[in-house]
Amino acid sequence: MDAEAVAEVERLAAASACGWAEGGSDGVEWRAPEPRHARTDLATWLKTGERPACEPVFADRVLPRFDALAVDLGELMEGVGSRLEVQLAHFSGGKQARYRRHTDATADPRPESRERKVTCILYCNSTWVEASEGCLRLTRADCENATGLKARPEGARGTAGSTMDIPPIGGRLLCFLSGAMVHEVLPTKADRIAVTAWVA
């Protein structure tokens, strides 16, 4: 995604979510997802024709690319690509928002399962620096337990339980298997914006 589009998403999301948190409403249906002890972000669905998905940056640039990505994933992976949910999330730096360890789906490797299969996250933080914090921490789960598939032999890429921190740099797209990857958003010192698509 080009820098201009990323900055526009960031600008719209920050203005709308901060306004909502202060009691205002611009027609965007923000929600504070539960449970709050586990996650402290604000989120809104990006649904075609509704606010804020009807803004040109989402309608013309971001959402068509996620649609195309879902089609590509469907061609690459059996049983993937029939359903797409897209969310805009805002983690407040002032409150050091976070999202504790979780997976996005119950592991079910069967192609016919209705579970979310792939998580695709587009980060929209154009001024992210190390001091902003709020990395996404990935934990390499025990693949055999998490997916029902046979685990790759240890050694090649670290061992089960080892972690990797991904900075939420503007324009970065991250994809992982929704049911297999344990992840958490570490407390953020700067406002942190992401568009997340779950492909089922």
Ligand X SMILES: O=C(O)CCC(=O)C(=O)O
Instruction: Kindly list the residues in this chain that would bind ligand X in the complex (CB under 6 A).
Output: 89, 99, 104, 121, 136, 168, 183, 185, 194, 196
Residue appearing with tokens 């789906």: 105
CB proximity list for 52: less than 8 A, separation 6 or greater: 12, 13, 16, 28, 44, 46, 58, 88
Residues in the chain, overall count: 200
- Supply the minimum distance, in Å, between the C-beta of residue 57 and ligand X: 19
User: Of 112 and 141, which has the nearer Cβ to ligand X?
Assistant: 141
Among Fe ion, ligand X, none, the one that 124 touches (CB under a kind-dependent 5 to 8 A) is none
SS3 39: strand
Among ligand X, Fe ion, none, the one that 121 touches (CB under a kind-dependent 5 to 8 A) is ligand X
- Supply the minimum distance, in Å, between the C-beta of residue 133 and ligand X: 12
Query: CB nearest Fe ion: which residue?
Result: 104
User: Of 8 and 184, which has the nearer Cβ to Fe ion?
Assistant: 184
**By CB under 5 A, which span of 11-19, 81-89, 99-107, 109-117 interacts with Fe ion?**
99-107
- Supply the minimum distance, in Å, between the C-beta of residue 154 and ligand X: 26
Cβ(178)–Cβ(145) below 8 Å: no
Locate the DSSP E strands across the chain: 42-45, 84-91, 99-102, 118-123, 136-139, 163-166, 173-177, 182-185, 192-199
Q: Is 104 in the site for Fe ion (CB under 5 A)?
A: yes
- Supply the minimum distance, in Å, between the C-beta of residue 60 and ligand X: 23
Among ligand X, Fe ion, none, the one that 194 touches (CB under a kind-dependent 5 to 8 A) is ligand X
- Supply the minimum distance, in Å, between the C-beta of residue 136 and ligand X: 4
The CA-based dihedral angle spanning residues 170, 123, 183, 100, taken in that order and rounded to the nearest 10 degrees: 100
CB proximity list for 66: less than 8 A, separation 6 or greater: 84, 86, 120, 122, 195, 197
